[in-house]
Amino acid sequence: RADLAMGDMPAAREHYRALIASEKTAVAALTGLYDQAKAQNRPEAALTFARKTLALSPETAWAGEAVFDDLARRGQWAEAVAMVNAETASTREDKARKRRRQAVIETARARETETSQPNSALEHALTALKLLPDFVPAALIAARIYSSRGEARRAQSLLRRIWRATGHPDIAALYAHSQPGASAVDRLKRLGEIIDMPPAHRAAGMAMARAAVDAGATAVFVPGILDATT
Convert the pLDDT of each residue in 85-131 to its tens digit: 888 778 888 889 889 999 999 999 999 999 999 999 999 999 999 99
Give residue-wise pLDDT tens across range 5-61.
666 667 777 777 778 777 788 888 888 888 888 888 999 999 999 999 988 888 888
**CB atoms inside a 10 Å sphere around CB 201:** 11
- Mean pLDDT across 186-197: 64
pLDDT of residue 203: 65
Q: What is the Cβ-side half-sphere exposure of residue 14, based on CA atoms within 13 angstroms? A: 5
Residue 192 contacts by C-beta under 8 Å, 6 or more apart in sequence?
Answer: 222, 224, 225
The beta strand positions in 40-155, using DSSP E, are none
pLDDT of residue 35: 86
More confident position, 182 or 104: 104
Comparing C-alpha atoms, which of 109, 164, 113, 118 is closest to residue 143? Answer: 118
What's the mean pLDDT when you consider all of the chain? 81
pLDDT at 228 over 60: no
pLDDT at 198 over 60: no
**CB atoms inside a 10 Å sphere around CB 57:** 14
Residues above pLDDT 70, as percent of the chain: 74
Please name the residue ranges forming H helices in 114-168: 118-131, 136-148, 152-166
- Measure the CA–CA gap between 156 and 173, rounded to whole angstroms: 11
Give residue-wise pLDDT tens across range 127-175.
999 999 999 999 999 999 999 999 989 999 999 899 888 888 888 888 8
pLDDT at 229 over 50: no
- Mean pLDDT across 180-187: 64
ω into 133 cis (within 30 of 0): no
Determine whether 160 is exposed, middle or buried from the number of CB atoms within 10 Å of its CB (0-12, 13-18, 19+): middle
102, 87 Cβ separation under 8 angstroms: no
What one-letter code names the amino acid at 82? A
